[in-house]
């Protein structure tokens, strides 16, 4: 960081100790005067501290407020007498609320109060800090909030009122809140009614299903307003200018977990307040050139489709429904036949097995838009150059227990590294994971690897491809003659239930696609990744060391401005 001139520097009091407080355009720092000589070095993390000097990035200040005397009681209670004297001597104060990092990617809002004898000086500090905050254009001022009161453990409303609304209030953000009254209420409201010009972002309080509603509402609204026909799989889509914030209050909350690193309402609220921005890919899903749905996390056929279908009947169980349906689906051990065709991503887009995880500021996701465009055109060219329109495409026909397309890692508390640990949030690709027919024990081994450090792709029956587009065609059983008998109804292992002559009905021969937790009506689909179609109020998962800030001593090194 270049040294920057101080905007303000004063001797103030914090917890009855004299501190030197200084502000430049990027850092607010303070240090105790009496212990200054003893402690001079050390790398200082923002909002963390060495023994007696502290620094906070201006962009991570939540708010600065005038502190009325009685609000500062917590500090003063410890030594009442001294405190009383002190508050008589230094009756004016202001409080800075800022982001503090705790363990495992969680953020908290901390306060520090500075006292002074001079009211004017406190006012000046408040004014200058507020001026700096108002320069941060990416911070939202007005939000539209949708709460699903029935998501997860049905705590959405309480979570918002108790943990999020007070923080928005402190940060001076205004919010219009809609508690949904039915499924698709939020989607329909966004699609047609909401006056989006009034807002800087939309907040979703709920789970992945609720996020999906908001996604569909917003993306559809932006396409309709710009005359884009969603039924055309190759139409160039218009990115949404409004960002989406996710306050996790659902069952899996994988989109929040994979973009923030934790499912914690306060952390999410703080990412919204500081105005973070994380672009994200969106897959468009079509059936015979008819638009079905969008997906940002998991498109899963076979195992995950079956788990979801079964779990929908057990909604009353809350988040535990997935465990029960998971075990049941695992035990039924179905497989499904079909052909999957895909257009691989270019070689420079990394590989699902390269162990290069997508992290805050990810280089792979930051390809220049032009170069991404060129690569994209190249693969389109390749695609078109072939007479059949399938050059560059590969096709695999087989019997699959699961076909999963992970557009992001899909990390969640159940699987902290996710379905595809090296998938990227915003690279324009999805990781296509094919799990072929195998024994129950092998499939269990594969599943268990989602929960430990072992590589879940390192099995002979698993393959994974990074792709830009794919299609799936289930095997047409009605076309199969008796000379080409069907081995179904697709039970592996011990339970061959159906003979070759049995006509399978559609539901036992086909699985369903789970699309971000919603069931698709068709098994035959075409999928195309739309690079960075939306943005979230998030920054990707931070590396442990990413939050380190240089020693705020640079702030002390510069000659103070005169105040
Ligand atoms: C043996 C343990 C194996 C654990 C394997 C866990 C892998 C989990 C990967 C989860 C990826 C989740 C992707 C996101 C999906 C969500 O969109 C979607 C909707 O979320 P919402 O309810 O918040 O709206 N959620 C889901 O579809 C949940 C999927 C959960 C699958 C759980 C599977 C459990 C399998 C248990 C097998 C146990 C075998 C035991 C044998 C004795
Ligand atoms: N008021 C409501 N009543 C019933 N269903 C709703 C309501 N609001 C949203 N939904 C639907 O509830 C489903 C689950 O929501 P979600 O918030 O993802 O919770 P969970 O993670 O527990 O599935 C979504 O499909 C969403 O469309
Ligand atoms: Ca991606």
Q: State how far the Cα of 503 lies from the Cα of 122, in Å rounded to an integer.
A: 81
213 C-beta closer than 6 A to ligand 1: no
Q: State how far the Cα of 274 lies from the Cα of 290, in Å rounded to an integer.
A: 39
Where is pLDDT greater, at 385 or 229? 229
| 80 pLDDT above the threshold of 70 | no
Q: Is the dihedral of CA 511, 515, 518, 523 positive or negative?
A: negative
Q: State how far the Cα of 130 lies from the Cα of 97, in Å rounded to an integer.
A: 12
Identify the residue whose C-alpha is closest to ligand 2 atom 2.
182
Identify the residue whose C-alpha is closest to ligand 2 atom 13.
209
Evaluate whether 537 touches 276 at the Cβ level (below 8 Å): yes
State the average pLDDT over residues 195-220. Answer: 95
- Report which ligand 1 atom has the smallest distance to the Cα of 419: 9
251 C-beta closer than 6 A to ligand 1: yes
422 C-beta closer than 6 A to ligand 1: no
Contacts of 465 (CB under 8 A, 6+ apart): 342, 344, 352, 394, 431, 432, 434
Query: What pLDDT, on the 0 to 100 scale, is given for residue 293?
Result: 97
Place of tokens 């407080």: 21
| Residue 508, number of CB atoms within 10 A of its CB | 17
Query: What pLDDT, on the 0 to 100 scale, is given for residue 269?
Result: 98
Task: Output the CA 190–ligand 1 centroid distance in Å.
Answer: 29
Task: Output the CA 205–ligand 2 centroid distance in Å.
Answer: 10
The residues that bridge with 279 in the sheet, in sequence order, are: 535
User: Which one, of 364, 189, 219, lies nearest residue 291 by Cα?
Assistant: 219
Task: Output the CA 214–ligand 2 centroid distance in Å.
Answer: 11
pLDDT band for position 368 (cuts 50, 70, 90): low
Query: What pLDDT, on the 0 to 100 scale, is given for residue 90?
Result: 73
Kindly report, residue by residue over 112-146, the tens digit of the pLDDT. Answer: 999 988 889 999 999 999 999 999 999 999 999 99
| 266 pLDDT above the threshold of 90 | yes
Q: Which domains does the chain have, with CATH numbers?
A: 8-137+545-557 (2.30.29.30), 141-276 (3.40.50.10330), 283-359+392-531 (2.60.200.40)
Among 206, 417, 517, 519, the mutation site with the greatest number of ligand 1 atoms within 8 A of its Cβ is 517
Q: State how far the Cα of 18 lies from the Cα of 358, in Å rounded to an integer.
A: 44
| Catalytic-residue membership of 208 | yes
Binning the chain into helix, strand and coil, the percentages to the nearest 5 are 30, 30, 40
Distance, first Cα to last Cα, the chain? 25
| 46 pLDDT above the threshold of 50 | no
Identify the residue whose C-alpha is closest to ligand 1 atom 2.
448
| 461 pLDDT above the threshold of 60 | yes
| 381 pLDDT above the threshold of 50 | no
SS3 439: coil
Query: What pLDDT, on the 0 to 100 scale, is given for residue 6?
Result: 85
State the average pLDDT over residues 546-555. Answer: 50
- Identify the nearest ligand to the CA of 422 by its number: 3
**pLDDT mean across residues, the chain:** 84
Identify the residue whose C-alpha is closest to ligand 1 atom 40.
327
Kindly report, residue by residue over 336-345, the tens digit of the pLDDT. Answer: 999 999 999 9
Q: What CA–CA distances, in Å, run from 50 to 32, 62, 100, 416, 549?
A: 11, 22, 14, 31, 12
| 27 pLDDT above the threshold of 60 | yes
Q: Which residues line ligand 2 (CB under 6 A)?
A: 148-152, 180-185, 206-210, 213, 250-252
Q: pTM for this one?
A: 0.85
Among 314, 322, 439, 442, the mutation site with the greatest number of ligand 1 atoms within 8 A of its Cβ is 322
| 561 pLDDT above the threshold of 60 | no
| 378 pLDDT above the threshold of 90 | no
Q: State how far the Cα of 176 lies from the Cα of 264, in Å rounded to an integer.
A: 22
Q: State how far the Cα of 89 lies from the Cα of 16, in Å rounded to an integer.
A: 11
Which of 112-126, 150-164, 249-263, 270-284 is modeled with the greatest confidence? 270-284
Task: Please state which of the ranges 333-342, 389-398, 519-528 shows the lowest mean pLDDT.
Answer: 389-398
DSSP string, 375-436: HHHHHHHHHHHSTTS-TT-EEEEEEEEEEEEESS---BTTBTT-SSTT--SSSS-EEEEEEE
Q: Which two tokens stand for residue 563?
A: 């105040």
The radius of gyration of the chain's CA atoms, rounded to the nearest angstrom, is 27
Kindly report, residue by residue over 430-445, the tens digit of the pLDDT. Answer: 999 999 999 999 999 9
Among 156, 210, 293, 326, the mutation site with the greatest number of ligand 1 atoms within 8 A of its Cβ is 326
Where is pLDDT greater, at 355 or 160? 160
- Identify the nearest ligand to the CA of 466 by its number: 3
252 C-beta closer than 6 A to ligand 1: yes
State the average pLDDT over residues 38-44. Answer: 43
Task: Output the CA 254–ligand 1 centroid distance in Å.
Answer: 10
Task: Please state which of the ranges 36-50, 416-430, 460-474, 533-547 shows the lowest mean pLDDT.
Answer: 36-50
- State the catalytic residue, choosing from 111, 208, 427, 516: 208
pLDDT band for position 18 (cuts 50, 70, 90): confident
Q: State how far the Cα of 166 lies from the Cα of 231, in Å rounded to an integer.
A: 42
Instruction: Please classify residue 36 by burial: count the beta carbons closer than 10 Å to its beta carbon, then call 0-12 exposed, 13-18 middle and 19+ buried.
Output: middle
Query: What pLDDT, on the 0 to 100 scale, is given for residue 13?
Result: 86
The residues that bridge with 405 in the sheet, in sequence order, are: 299, 432
Task: Output the CA 542–ligand 3 centroid distance in Å.
Answer: 18
- Identify the nearest ligand to the CA of 345 by its number: 3
Identify the residue whose C-alpha is closest to ligand 2 atom 27.
183
- Report which ligand 1 atom has the smallest distance to the Cα of 250: 23
């Amino acid at each position: 960081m270049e040294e920057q001139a101080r905007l303000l520097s004063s001797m103030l009091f914090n917890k009855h100790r004299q501190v030197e407080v200084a502000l430049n355009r990027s850092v607010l720092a303070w240090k105790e005067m009496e212990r200054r000589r003893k402690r001079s070095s050390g790398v200082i993390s923002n909002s963390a501290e060495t023994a007696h000097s502290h620094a906070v990035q201006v962009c991570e200040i939540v708010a600065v407020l005038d502190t009325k005397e009685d609000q500062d009681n917590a500090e003063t209670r410890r030594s009442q007498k001294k405190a009383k004297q002190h508050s008589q001597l230094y009756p004016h104060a202001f409080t800075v609320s800022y982001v503090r990092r705790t363990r495992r990617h969680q953020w908290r809002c901390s306060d520090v109060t500075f006292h002074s004898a001079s009211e004017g000086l406190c006012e000046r500090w408040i004014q200058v800090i507020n001026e700096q905050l108002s320069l941060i254009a990416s911070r939202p001022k007005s939000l539209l909030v949708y709460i699903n009161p029935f998501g997860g453990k049905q705590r959405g409303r309480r979570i918002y009122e108790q943990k999020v609304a007070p923080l928005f209030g402190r940060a001076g953000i205004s919010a219009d809140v809609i508690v949904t009254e039915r499924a698709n209420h939020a989607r329909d409201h966004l699609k047609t009614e909401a006056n989006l010009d009034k807002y800087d972002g939309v907040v979703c309080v709920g789970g992945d299903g609720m996020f999906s509603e908001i996604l569909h509402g917003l993306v559809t609204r932006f396409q309709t307003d710009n005359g884009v026909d969603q039924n055309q799989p190759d139409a160039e889509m218009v990115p949404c200018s409004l960002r989406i914030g996710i306050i996790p209050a659902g069952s899996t909350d994988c989109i929040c977990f994979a973009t923030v690193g934790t499912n914690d309402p306060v952390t999410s609220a703080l990412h919204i307040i500081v105005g973070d921005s994380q672009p994200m890919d969106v897959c468009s899903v079509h059936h015979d050139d008819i638009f079905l749905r969008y997906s940002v996390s998991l498109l899963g056929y076979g195992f995950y489709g079956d788990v979801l279908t079964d779990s929908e009947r057990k909604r009353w169980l809350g988040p535990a429904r997935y465990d029960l349906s998971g075990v049941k689906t695992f035990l039924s051990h179905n497989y499904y036949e079909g052909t999957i065709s895909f257009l691989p991503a270019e070689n420079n887009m990394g590989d699902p097995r390269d162990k290069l995880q997508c992290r805050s500021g990810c280089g792979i996701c930051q390809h220049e838009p032009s170069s991404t465009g060129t690569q994209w055109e190249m693969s389109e060219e390749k695609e078109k150059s072939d007479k059949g329109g399938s050059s560059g495409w590969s096709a695999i026909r087989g019997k699959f227990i699961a076909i999963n397309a992970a557009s992001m890692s899909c990390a969640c508390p159940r699987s902290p590294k996710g379905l595809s640990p090296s998938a990227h949030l915003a690279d324009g690709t999805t990781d296509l994971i094919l799990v072929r027919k195998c024994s129950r024990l092998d499939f269990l081994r594969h599943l268990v690897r989602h929960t430990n450090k072992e590589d879940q792709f390192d099995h002979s029956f698993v393959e994974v491809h990074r792709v830009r587009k794919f299609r799936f065609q289930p095997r047409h059983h009605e076309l199969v003659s008796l000379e080409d008998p069907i081995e179904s109804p697709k039970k592996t292992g011990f339970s061959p239930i159906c003979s070759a002559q049995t006509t399978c009905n559609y539901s036992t021969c086909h699985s369903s696609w789970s699309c971000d937790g919603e069931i698709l009506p068709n098994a035959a689909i075409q999928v195309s990744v739309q690079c960075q179609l939306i943005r979230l109020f998030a920054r990707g998962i931070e590396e442990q060391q990413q939050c380190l800030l240089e020693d705020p001593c640079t702030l002390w090194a510069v000659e103070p401005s005169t105040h």
